[in-house]
């Protein structure tokens, strides 16, 4: 038998910053372009448009281990580092946007709306290993993959911001659109062990991906 632990996460990550480009200093107030939409920075709420959404599986750790026949119960093994990513710095501000609406585009049911945290940088972790425990019952010696991974939704979108103008009131500005920014959200997490001999139809999509990463034939 094998156990899969799952968790629903409401955190979504966007690489980028809410701040628009800073105009250089100039003499006199910066002119307002014809047709520009004026805004009040103290109360302005960002808008979102042109949202795209897709799904993917990301395997953080996956290692194959030979489990002797006759093994039954909890088994712990080291799972090696693969391709885990993490946010390294947060920028000020949030975009109020319905991530649920984004996820429904790809058939993921999520209730309500959550904020998207703006992140300035996303980098790979240094190499590491984790200990993964699962319960198995093995009649004959076979290879098990001990793993950790997630399912993610991801895509791109445009968002608006209230940009200040040089030489004018600091709380006033014009609406500026920041185009083609990335977003992602983890909505399912899986960790455990799966046999290389298991029927793919009987294990979840993260376990199948981990088995492929570990080289199960």
Q: Tokens at residue 147, please?
A: 């793993």
Residue 209, both tokens: 């991906």
Spatial distance between the Cα atoms of 94 and 61, rounded to a whole number of angstroms: 31
3-state secondary structure of 193: strand
Cα 91–chain centre separation: 16
C-alpha span between 139 and 68 (Å, rounded): 8
What pLDDT score does 207 carry? Answer: 93
Query: What integer pLDDT is reported at residue 97 of this predicted model?
Result: 54
CA distance 97 to 93: 13
Q: Distance between alpha carbon 112 and the CA centroid of its chain, in Å?
A: 18
Cα atoms in the Cβ-side hemisphere of radius 13 Å centred on 60:
22
How much is the CA Rg of the chain, to the nearest whole Å?
A: 23
Contact, 212 vs 147, CB < 8 A? Answer: no
For the chain, what are the domain ranges? 39-84+128-179+186-213
pLDDT in tens, the chain (217 residues): 444 433 333 344 444 434 444 544 446 667 777 878 999 988 988 888 887 878 888 888 899 999 999 999 999 999 887 655 544 444 334 455 555 666 666 666 554 444 444 443 444 555 678 899 999 999 999 999 999 888 877 778 888 888 888 767 778 889 999 898 877 777 788 899 999 999 988 999 999 999 998 888 6
pLDDT the model gives residue 211: 92
What residue spans of 24-166 are helical by DSSP H? 99-104
């Amino acid at each position: 038998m094998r156990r899969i632990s799952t968790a629903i996460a409401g955190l979504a990550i966007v690489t980028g910053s809410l701040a628009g480009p800073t105009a250089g200093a100039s003499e006199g107030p910066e002119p307002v372009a014809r047709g520009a939409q004026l805004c009040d920075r103290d109360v302005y709420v960002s808008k979102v448009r042109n949202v795209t959404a897709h799904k993917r599986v990301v395997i953080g750790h996956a290692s194959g281990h030979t489990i002797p026949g006759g093994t039954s119960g909890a088994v712990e093994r080291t799972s090696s580092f693969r391709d885990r990513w993490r946010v390294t710095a947060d920028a000020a501000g949030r975009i109020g946007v319905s991530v649920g609406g984004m996820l429904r585009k790809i058939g993921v049911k999520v209730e309500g709306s959550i904020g998207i945290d703006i992140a300035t940088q996303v980098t790979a972790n240094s190499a590491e290993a984790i200990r993964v425990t699962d319960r198995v019952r093995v009649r004959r010696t076979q290879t098990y993959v001990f793993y950790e991974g997630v399912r993610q939704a991801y895509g791109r979108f445009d968002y608006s911001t209230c940009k200040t103008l040089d030489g004018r009131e600091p709380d006033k500005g014009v609406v500026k659109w920041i185009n083609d920014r990335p977003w992602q959200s983890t909505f399912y997490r899986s960790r455990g062990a799966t046999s290389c001999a298991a029927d793919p139809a009987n294990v979840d999509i993260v376990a199948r991906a981990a088995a492929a990463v570990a080289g199960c034939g």
